[in-house]
Amino acid sequence: MPLTFAFDVYGTLIDTAGITQSLDRLVGSQAALFSSRWREKQLEYSFRRGLMQDYVDFSVCTREALEYTSNQLNLPINENDKATLLDAYRHLPAFEDTASALKRLNDAGHRLYAFSNGLPDDLESLLSSAGIRDEFLGIVSVHEIRTFKPNPAVYRHFLQRSSTAANQCWLISSNPFDLLGGQSVGLHTAWIQRSQANLFDPWGKTPDLTLASLTELPESVN
């Protein structure tokens, strides 16, 4: 029976550390640290906005996190370079294991969706630039209900938009907070743990699958 797959985008299909190359010319040896701090703050701002019910779109969280990181690390970046970085965030690379795994799932007859905190237009640009947009039936963005993962409402919204029952849906993510959110509404979950240094939150719950690569996914769900 065909299954529905909800793929997280940032950090799961798309490598957010890909921004490091753009940062390298601006902050040199601090590029990797800057990229990591920027991503952490971006997610923190989305969590806080969600809790406060003070929604702004994800691109605002990204921009504000860039501002914070620049100030925190005392690495000034001028406005033109900030604009260039934010544009580069819409053209990040896919992980090496992404394209082949998506194709194999499609060839098996499954239904694939991109499911993200990002804005629809940003996701269209991001997935198209990475060469994987055509693998998806559609894009489901939290912007449609103006809140963020891991609010359970986001996952219920995905089920409604994709016309899918929870027991026929797999959420695929590298982000433990995302998987815990999906579990709260009964989704099957697969954690893509590309590094052993990444740990799952000790909340007494575990994903249905833990995989080192997306390439393991097609056989694991059949």
Share of the chain above pLDDT 70, in %: 100
The answer to whether 173 and 192 have CB atoms below 8 angstroms apart is yes
| End position of a domain, from candidates 54, 88, 122 | 88
Rounded to an integer, what distance in angstroms lies between the CA atom of residue 179 and that of residue 62? Answer: 22
CATH number at residue 22: 1.10.150.240
Output the six-digit token pair for 144: 């449609």
10 and 103 in a common domain: yes
What predicted TM-score, i.e. pTM, was given to this entire model?
0.96
Rounded to an integer, what distance in angstroms lies between the CA atom of residue 136 and that of residue 209? Answer: 22
Number of domains the chain contains: 2
182 and 105 in a common domain: yes
114 and 70 in a common domain: no
**Peptide bond connecting 150 to the previous residue in cis, omega within 30 degrees of 0:** yes
Rounded to an integer, what distance in angstroms lies between the CA atom of residue 214 and that of residue 102? Answer: 8
147 and 77 in a common domain: no
132 and 68 in a common domain: no
What is the residue range of 162's domain?
Answer: 4-15+93-220
Q: What is the pLDDT of residues 108-148, one digit of tens each?
A: 999 999 999 999 999 999 999 999 999 999 999 999 999 99
The answer to whether 41 and 68 have CB atoms below 8 angstroms apart is yes
Lowest mean pLDDT across 1-5, 6-10, 132-136: 1-5
| End position of a domain, from candidates 50, 67, 88 | 88
105 and 41 in a common domain: no
Rounded to an integer, what distance in angstroms lies between the CA atom of residue 14 and that of residue 95? Answer: 6
199 and 147 in a common domain: yes
Q: What is the pLDDT of residues 68-113, one digit of tens each?
A: 999 999 999 999 999 999 999 999 999 999 999 999 999 999 999 9
- Which position among 8, 15, 122, 178 bears the catalytic label? 8
| End position of a domain, from candidates 88, 122, 150 | 88
Does the active-site annotation cover 57?
no
Confidence of residue 1 (pLDDT cuts 50, 70, 90): confident
CATH number at residue 97: 3.40.50.1000
186 phi/psi in degrees, rounded to 5: 90, 15
